[in-house]
Amino acid sequence: MGLRSRLLWLVQAILAASLTFGALLFFDLLRRDELVDFRTRNEKLVQAIGVTAAVFVAQNDLGGLDTLVAHLSESLKGRDLIDLAVVDEQARVLAHTDTERFNTVLTDELVSEAIDTDSTVWAHRGHELVIGVPAKSGIRWATVVARFSFERVEAQISRTRMFVGSALFGLFLLLAAVQLVGLERLVIRPIRTLQQAVRRIAEGHLTTRVPPLKSRELGELSETVNRMAAALQAERDNLERAVAERTRELSEANARLERLAVTDGLTGMFNHRRFHEVLQAELLRALRHKRPMGVLMVDVDFFKKVNDTLGHPAGDELLRRLAEVLSRDLRQTDLIARYGGEEFAVVLPETTKAEAIQVAERMRGAVEAKLNGTEQWKQTITVSIGVATFPEDGTTGEALLEAADQAMYLAKRSGRNRVMTTKGPA
């Protein structure tokens, strides 16, 4: 074998080794990138599911939670989902894609880890990905655990590996027929360009394209690589758009559900639950900064007569009108809520007892002035208001509410249509 032939085979061997190394690197990086992308997408998806699931658990709506899980199981069946479970803090199943698993206890280590942490946890198990996220809506209500299959992603990578591997093998056979003269210009430079492009694609730069190559065979190979890169880019873009769209839809649905969860359906005011959340938050702020805070309890006088005389629709209309009048002069920092029945409760941050009494008197006077003067209700509409303030009447939410409630009943016993504190007239 002459020196020319030896050099040719040496160059070909080196080039073949480089191509083999590049292909291995490409598929290793491609697989790693696809698996990371697969995990990231599904983490976002499960996190979005966790927010929605928390709302159902917070409302103790296990039927709605079951419907949500069943719907997700059906809609994500083609998205590699194996199963989905919502568990409480004892790992007891609240909802599962397999309905027979309801109320059973999951003993999986990852489930225990997910329950004990406030962040997302995940684990690879063979061809499966397990993800656990906390289900939060204000506070943590449950934990969502989902299993996904890698088989579709692995199969796609395997097909790509076989296709590109076949293309590289054909390229090596082509190089074996190339003469030493012109090897650098005709083969090595184009191959180097192709290798660099493939490496960048493997690193995740899917917008990279191989420039046109003069050789017909290498040109076809570059087109194949470009088509592969375009297909991968399109697939990733489609997945990102699908995840973004699903996340947006779930976020919007969660926002609507969250608003419904804290709003009274009749008056549009905040409900009992939201009132207690704000009361506790403002009380902690008042304790920390040593600032005053007021609580009002408002009750409609002789409301039962309106229902008995005019019917419940008239009573509902009175409550809606009353909500408008009571909330009209409050500050943005104040909160008024329908506490129950015909009772309303008000939180007044940064408010002394004298200021709280003034607010209550304005409310009482506004109701008397704006809801009377016609025969609509067949009786005079007035309210009795009890006033309690921090720290004089209590340092806990329960104590303040009890003091305001006692003052309100004292106003009732003293003749109604008045503002009272626990110590007597305001």
pLDDT at 347: 97
What is the average pLDDT score of the chain? 83
pLDDT at 249: 63
- Average of pLDDT values for 26-43? 79
- Average of pLDDT values for 140-149? 89
Residue 299 maps to a domain: yes
Residue 239 maps to a domain: yes
Residue 105 maps to a domain: yes
CATH number assigned to the domain comprising residue 184: 3.30.450.20
Ranking 24-33, 139-148, 264-273 by mean pLDDT, the lowest is: 24-33
Q: Which residue has the higher pLDDT, 68 or 344?
A: 344
Are 167 and 316 found together in one domain?
Answer: no
Are 337 and 257 found together in one domain?
Answer: no
Residue 28 maps to a domain: yes
pLDDT at 80: 83
Measure the CA–CA gap between 182 and 372, rounded to whole angstroms: 103
Are 154 and 197 found together in one domain?
Answer: yes
Are 78 and 47 found together in one domain?
Answer: yes
Question: Percentage of the chain with pLDDT > 90?
Answer: 37
Q: Band the pLDDT of 3: cuts 50, 70, 90.
A: very low
Residue that terminates a domain, selected from 261, 280, 298: 261
Are 298 and 257 found together in one domain?
Answer: no
pLDDT at 118: 87
Are 153 and 61 found together in one domain?
Answer: yes
Are 317 and 243 found together in one domain?
Answer: no
57: containing domain: 1-261
Are 221 and 284 found together in one domain?
Answer: no
Are 145 and 22 found together in one domain?
Answer: yes
Are 121 and 217 found together in one domain?
Answer: yes
Q: Band the pLDDT of 245: cuts 50, 70, 90.
A: confident
CATH number assigned to the domain comprising residue 358: 3.30.70.270
Residue 267 maps to a domain: no
> Is pLDDT of 425 > 80?
no
Q: Band the pLDDT of 12: cuts 50, 70, 90.
A: low
> Is pLDDT of 337 > 80?
yes
Residue 194 maps to a domain: yes
> Is pLDDT of 5 > 70?
no
- Tell me which of 342, 350, 368, 375 is the catalytic residue: 342
> Is pLDDT of 2 > 50?
no
pLDDT at 195: 74
Residue that terminates a domain, selected from 239, 261, 283: 261
Are 256 and 171 found together in one domain?
Answer: yes
pLDDT tens by residue, 81-103: 888 899 898 989 888 888 888 88
- Average of pLDDT values for 8-17? 66
Residue that terminates a domain, selected from 228, 261, 294: 261
- Average of pLDDT values for 119-128? 87
Are 131 and 241 found together in one domain?
Answer: yes
Q: Which residue has the higher pLDDT, 217 or 308?
A: 308
Residue 266 maps to a domain: no
Highest mean pLDDT among 50-54, 184-188, 192-196, 338-342: 338-342
> Is pLDDT of 367 > 90?
yes
Q: Band the pLDDT of 254: cuts 50, 70, 90.
A: low
Q: Band the pLDDT of 260: cuts 50, 70, 90.
A: low
- Average of pLDDT values for 294-305? 95
Q: Which residue has the higher pLDDT, 200 or 131?
A: 131
Structural domain total, the chain: 2
pLDDT at 4: 44
Residue 22 maps to a domain: yes
Ranking 163-177, 224-238, 399-413 by mean pLDDT, the lowest is: 163-177
Q: Band the pLDDT of 352: cuts 50, 70, 90.
A: very high
Task: Please confirm, yes or no, whether 235 is among the known catalytic residues.
Answer: no
> Is pLDDT of 183 > 70?
no
pLDDT at 271: 94
> Is pLDDT of 311 > 80?
yes
> Is pLDDT of 145 > 80?
yes
